Amino acid sequence: MQHSLNRLKAKLNMEKKLIVCVDDEQIVLTSLVGQLGNTFGNRFLYETFTEPEEAWEFIDETYAEGMDVHLIICDWLMPRMRGDEFMVRVHKRFPEVKMIMLSGQADNESVERARREANLLKFIAKPWEKTELMQEVETALEVS
């Protein structure tokens, strides 16, 4: 994890905003980061995690190093921790982080909980429409 943070620190010194993507399926992360890269190029930095706990450690260490996470794009249905639980946990410690939830299976109660307790910006159903998701990312990161 430290190697990743050192690499990130060097990149963040260039004043780029950081997007953290969390989904238990690597193929979804690959697709998501591919679309982000095709849309925004190297305007933002992207870190991906298949485990919410690893993402939490990374976010915690990132802030401990004096850097910020600007946006989290997170799946809802993941082993060991649902996306709404993860987002609430992050929001309690780092309330300035913007959040977008992606899911093909989230129930309304979980989405509403994320809106209420984690200040969820947007819920987007999988498979997502690229234009909609990229517009939400643009809006989230230009406002922050």
pTM listed for this prediction: 0.89
pLDDT per position as a tens digit, 69-120: 999 999 999 999 999 999 999 999 999 999 999 998 888 999 999 999 999 9
Which CATH architecture best describes the domain 2-143? 3-Layer(aba) Sandwich (3.40)
Domain boundaries, the chain: 2-143
Sheet with 17-22, strands from edge to edge, namely 44-49, 17-22, 71-75, 98-103, 122-125
pLDDT tops 90 at residue 14: no
What does the pLDDT read at residue 144? 46
pLDDT tens digits, 20-68: 999 999 999 999 999 999 999 999 999 999 999 999 999 999 999 999 9
